[in-house]
Structure 1
Amino acid sequence: MIVAELIQKEEITNFKIINAPEDHASEFRGKLENALKLGNAFKSKANIVFNTTEGPKRVETTVWNVTPDYLELKGGVLISTHSLLEIDY
């Protein structure tokens, strides 16, 4: 498990999101789709760790939409799939 500061979803826009040292976007695709299904069907939250210029950040939130390049959270907040370090639910 990666040590990452827990932040609120509303704080994400305060950070500059950058690509992870290794791109795990395709590896995490299945987990993102599952997180989306869990969020839509059961309002279940996912733990998402992503890379920023200030180091890894973690958010516990519901995934609203997934595209090849972004995952969307409530309020139109976007996180690049290329910045993802870890996903758990």
Structure 2
Amino acid sequence: MTSELIEKETIDVSKIVPAQTALSEELTNRLTAAQRLGNEFKAKATIEFNTVDGPKRVNTTVWSVTEKYIQLKNNIHIPIKSVIDIDF
């Protein structure tokens, strides 16, 4: 299934659901790398995450990564358990 590219301002956090697969160590490492790229170089990452309407993608700067969430600009938090993939 192809994910829909959306703007970060249109993310509806109430529709985000857990991904079908568990978070791998490789994906966890890429989340950390995306945070570093965002903070040090202002580089954007493409985050694919699961919603009730199917997979969505957003191209944005990762501000921080906590144990449970990815924080984006405008106080948007995507649960890590909903992340399908991240690329930069």
Q: TM-score, normalised by structure 1?
A: 0.91
Q: Point out 4+ residue stretches in structure 1 off by more than 3 angstroms.
A: none
Alignment correspondent of 1:88: 87
1:25–1:84 Cα contact (<8 Å) kept: no
Post-superposition offset of 1:13 = 2.1
Taking the aligned partners of 1:67 and 1:25, their CA distance within structure 2 comes to: 16
5+ residue gaps, structure 2: none
C-alpha distance in structure 1 between counterparts of 2:24 and 2:73, whole Å: 20
Shift of 1:23: 1.8
The change in CA–CA distance for 1:25 and 1:71 in structure 2 (over 3 A counts) is farther
TM-score (norm 2): 0.92
1:8 aligns with 2:7: yes
Rate the CA distance shift 1:80–1:26 in 2: closer, same or farther, 3 A.
farther
Indicate how the Cα distance of structure 1 residues 76 and 25 shifts in structure 2: closer, same or farther if over 3 A, else same. farther
User: CA deviation digits over 1:64-84, x for unaligned, max 9?
Assistant: 010111000001100010001
Contact kept in structure 2, 1:8 and 1:60, CA below 8 Å: yes
Q: Show the counterpart of 1:59.
A: 58
Partner SS state of residue 30, structure 1: helix
User: Quick check: 1:28–1:87 contact (8 Å CA) kept in 2?
Assistant: yes
Root-mean-square deviation (Å): 1.5
**In the alignment, structure 1 residue 38 sits paired with structure 2 residue 37:** yes
Aligned residue pair count: 88
Structure 1: give runs of 5+ residues left out of the alignment. none
